[in-house]
Chains A and B, each alone.
Chain A
Amino acid sequence: DVKVTQSSRYLVKRTGEKVFLECVQDMDHENMFWYRQDPGLGLRLIYFSYDVKMKEKGDIPEGYSVSREKKERFSLILESASTNQTSMYLCASSSSTANYGYTFGSGTRLTVV
């Protein structure tokens, strides 16, 4: 069964901490994405990557960075966590040759206190 795995389901971090959210996919997908999900706002794109070592800003990149050193792994980094970054974070991957299908992970619910 193909999957996208996010390393943590729940995280609680303190304001100012550096936070790493990890995502691994086993489908050999070229594309990977990080979204955050907030009630009433839907899913908003933070960063995405179409290849190893490349990254593109999404709609809300401020306060975040990403790393993609290997094809299967895409990390989201909160440089200095703030309370307004409390949210559900979803990782997704897709193939450049398949028909627009995204596969999502189960999400990481991050609380910044």
Chain B
Amino acid sequence: QQQVKQSPQSLIVQKGGISIINCAYENTAFDYFPWYQQFPGKGPALLIAIRPDVSEKKEGRFTISFNKSAKQFSLHIMDSQPGDSATYFCAAFQGAQKLVFGQGTRLTINP
């Protein structure tokens, strides 16, 4: 079963807009929630991450919002740029440094 559910599967946003990708999980033992960014032909790279004792983390144009009670977290990309076009994966740590990934979101930013 999919332990981390991600939506939408694909997303098209106009340049300058806000991109929002959502994830939900069931396992309350997860203790760390990273987001990965993957460009075509490359492996995923860590973008930003959050722990469940924090409700929001911001790094530049990228923000994670975390709702522990709802077991949901989301990635917001402000002022989206064509260079942000990539596939984004949310993930959760299951313990012992083992990551569980969401299904991925293909983001396209139209110029």
| Residue A106 is within 8 A (CB to CB) of chain B in the complex | yes
Do B96 and A90 touch (CB < 8 A)?
Answer: no
Query: Interface size class for chain B?
Result: 20 to 34
Do A104 and B102 touch (CB < 8 A)?
Answer: no
How far apart are the CA atoms of A95 and B96 in the complex, in Å? 11
How far apart are the CA atoms of A100 and B36 in the complex, in Å? 13
Which A residues, 79 to 113, have Cβ-Cβ distances below 8 Å to chain B? 90, 92, 94, 96, 100-102, 104-107
Q: Which residues of the other chain, B, contact A44 by a CB distance below 8 angstroms?
A: 101
Report the minimum CB–CB distance from B58 to chain A (whole Å).
18
| Residue A34 is within 8 A (CB to CB) of chain B in the complex | no
Do A100 and B93 touch (CB < 8 A)?
Answer: yes
Query: Interface size class for chain A?
Result: 20 to 34
Which residue on A lies nearest to B94, using beta carbons?
A: A45
Do B43 and A42 touch (CB < 8 A)?
Answer: no
Can you list 7 A-B contacts with CB-CB less than 8 angstroms, sorted by A residue number? A35-B101, A39-B104, A50-B96, A92-B43, A100-B97, A104-B45, A106-B41
Which residues of B are in contact with A by a Cβ distance under 8 Å? 2, 4, 6, 9, 32, 34, 36, 41-46, 49, 89, 93, 96-104
Which residues of A are in contact with B by a Cβ distance under 8 Å? 4, 31, 33, 35, 39-45, 48, 50, 58, 90, 92, 94, 96, 100-102, 104-107
